[in-house]
Amino acid sequence: MNAGPVDPTTTAAWSSLSEHRSATTPDLRGWFAADPARARDLTLDVADLHVDLSKNLVTADTVALLLQLAEQTGVLARRDAMLAGEHVNVTEDRAVLHTALRRPAGASPALEVDGQDVDGDVQAELAKVFTFADAVRSGEWRGVTGKAITTVVNIGIGGSDLGPVMAYEALKPSVRAGLECRFVSNIDPTDVAETTKDLDPETTLFIVASKTFGTLETLTNARLARAWLWRGLAAAGVLADSDEARQEAVAKHFVAVSTALDKVAAFGIDPANAFGFWDWVGGRYSVDSAIGTSLAVAIGPEAFREFLAGFHAVDEHFRTTAPERNVPLLMGLLNVWYVNFLDAHTHAVLPYSQYLHRFPAYLQQLTMESNGKSVRYDGEPVTTHTGEVFWGEPGTNGQHAFYQLIHQGTRIVPSDFIAFATPAHPLVDGDADVHALFMANFFAQTKALAFGKTAEEVRAEGTAEDVVAARVFSGNRPTTSIMAPSLTPAVLGQLIALYEHVTFVEGAVWGIDSFDQWGVELGKKLALEIAPALTGDTAALEAQDPSTGALIRYYLEHRRD
Q: How far is the CB of 163 from ligand F6P (least distance, A)?
A: 9
The catalytically annotated residue of 302, 324, 524, 529 is 524
Q: Which is nearer to ligand F6P, 57 or 157 (CB)?
A: 157
Q: Does 527 bind ligand F6P (CB under 6 A)?
A: no
Q: Does 289 bind ligand F6P (CB under 6 A)?
A: no
State the binding string over 332-371 for ligand F6P (x if CB under 6 A, else -): -------------------------------------x--
Q: Check if the beta carbon of residue 294 is closer than 8 Å to that of residue 207.
A: yes
Q: Is 369 noted as a catalytic residue in this protein?
A: yes
Distances (CA, A) of 439 to 290, 348, 430, 460, 490: 35, 18, 15, 28, 22
Q: How far is the CB of 343 from ligand F6P (least distance, A)?
A: 29
Rounded-to-10 torsion of CA 197, 203, 209, 213 = 90
Identify which range of 138-146, 211-219, 264-272, 392-400 contacts ligand F6P by CB under 6 A: 211-219
Q: How many CB atoms lie within 10 A of CB 124?
A: 11
Rounded Cα gap, residues 67 and 16, in angstroms = 12
Q: Which is nearer to ligand F6P, 62 or 185 (CB)?
A: 185
Q: How far is the CB of 212 from ligand F6P (least distance, A)?
A: 3
Q: Which is nearer to ligand F6P, 256 or 348 (CB)?
A: 256
Size of site (CB under 6 A) for ligand F6P: 14
Q: Does 517 bind ligand F6P (CB under 6 A)?
A: yes
Q: Is 393 noted as a catalytic residue in this protein?
A: no
Q: Which of 283, 301, 332, 489 binds ligand F6P (CB under 6 A)?
A: 283
Q: Does 157 bind ligand F6P (CB under 6 A)?
A: yes
Rounded Cα gap, residues 330 and 370, in angstroms = 18
- Please provide residue 138's backbone torsions phi and psi, each rounded to the nearest 5 degrees: -85, -10
The catalytically annotated residue of 197, 400, 525, 558 is 400
Residue in 540, 552, 524 with CA at minimum distance from that of residue 217:
524
Rounded Cα gap, residues 220 and 366, in angstroms = 24
Q: How many CB atoms lie within 10 A of CB 382?
A: 18
How does DSSP classify residue 344? Answer: -
Identify which range of 138-146, 205-213, 479-487, 493-501 contacts ligand F6P by CB under 6 A: 205-213
Q: Which is nearer to ligand F6P, 232 or 283 (CB)?
A: 283
Q: How far is the CB of 292 from ligand F6P (least distance, A)?
A: 13
Rounded Cα gap, residues 502 and 330, in angstroms = 8
Rounded Cα gap, residues 288 and 129, in angstroms = 11
Q: What secondary structure, in 3-state letters, does 474-540 show?
A: CCCCCEEEEEECCCCHHHHHHHHHHHHHHHHHHHHHHCCCCCCCHHHHHHHHHHHHHHHHHHCCHHH
How does DSSP classify residue 473? Answer: B
Q: Which is nearer to ligand F6P, 51 or 287 (CB)?
A: 287
The catalytically annotated residue of 169, 217, 306, 369 is 369
Helix or strand or coil: residue 125? helix
Q: Which is nearer to ligand F6P, 151 or 517 (CB)?
A: 517
Q: Which of 116, 212, 384, 463 binds ligand F6P (CB under 6 A)?
A: 212
State the residues that interact with ligand F6P by CB under 6 A: 157-160, 210-212, 215, 218, 283-284, 369, 517, 520
Catalogue the active-site residues.
369, 400, 524
